[in-house]
Amino acid sequence: MTQVSNQKSLKSIFAITLMAATLGLTACSTPVDPDVKARQDIMKNFGDAMKVMGGMAKEPDTFDADVFKEQAAFLAEESKNPWSHFNNKDAAGNAKAEVWSNVDGFKAEAENFQKVTAELSAAAQTATSIDDVMPAFKPVGDSCKSCHTDFQVEKD
């Protein structure tokens, strides 16, 4: 085998591998409903914000008033955004059927969440230590949990 043809066959092997990888990827990702994706993306951001603030709750020495304020404000602003993406009950994602059969219950959870995140953001404005925000932080975590218990499909 000459050097040239060797390179050629390597190239085509590479091309085939690439193609297979591309096809494999396409086959694996079932199309996700845009509303499901939108609300899951928002929820993921909620999770990230809670991680940052929860980290400070665990290690009070790391409390950073500006960062906490920013995350709390983010939650408060975004708190009204997921719910319009729950209109189509055929796009279940990991939402329980109760989202659509217990509309009032779901709405109450969503409204409570908006209330407690607004209170947390307000408390964060003047906070100088984690102690100043803890009374408002706990109800936010409770709100996430409470809604998930009733309305999110449990994962193993």
| Closer residue to ligand HEC, CB minimum distance, 68 or 109 | 109
- Whichever of 19 and 103 has its CB closer to ligand HEC, that residue is 103
Q: Nearest residue to ligand HEC, using CB?
A: 93
Q: Are 49 and 71 in contact (CB under 8 A)?
A: yes
* Minimum CB distance to ligand HEC smaller for 14 or for 28: 28
Tell me what percent of the chain is helix, strand and coil, each rounded to the nearest 5: 80, 0, 20
Is residue 147 annotated as involved in ligand binding? yes
Give yes or no for a contact between 132 and 123, defined as CB atoms under 8 angstroms apart: yes
b (16+ CB within 10 A) / e for 41-54: ebbeebeebbeebe
Q: How far is the CB of 106 from ligand HEC (least distance, A)?
A: 6
Residue 39 near residue 88, CB atoms below 8 Å: no
Is 120 within 8 Å of 140 (Cβ atoms)? Answer: yes
Residues making contact with ligand HEC (CB under 6 A):
36, 39-40, 43-44, 46-47, 50, 93-95, 99, 106, 109-110, 113, 140, 143-144, 147-148, 151-152
Per the annotation, does 28 bind a ligand? no
Of 65 and 92, which CB lies nearer to ligand HEC in the complex structure?
Answer: 92
Q: Judge whether 85 is annotated as a binding position.
A: no
Annotated binding site for heme c: 144, 147-148
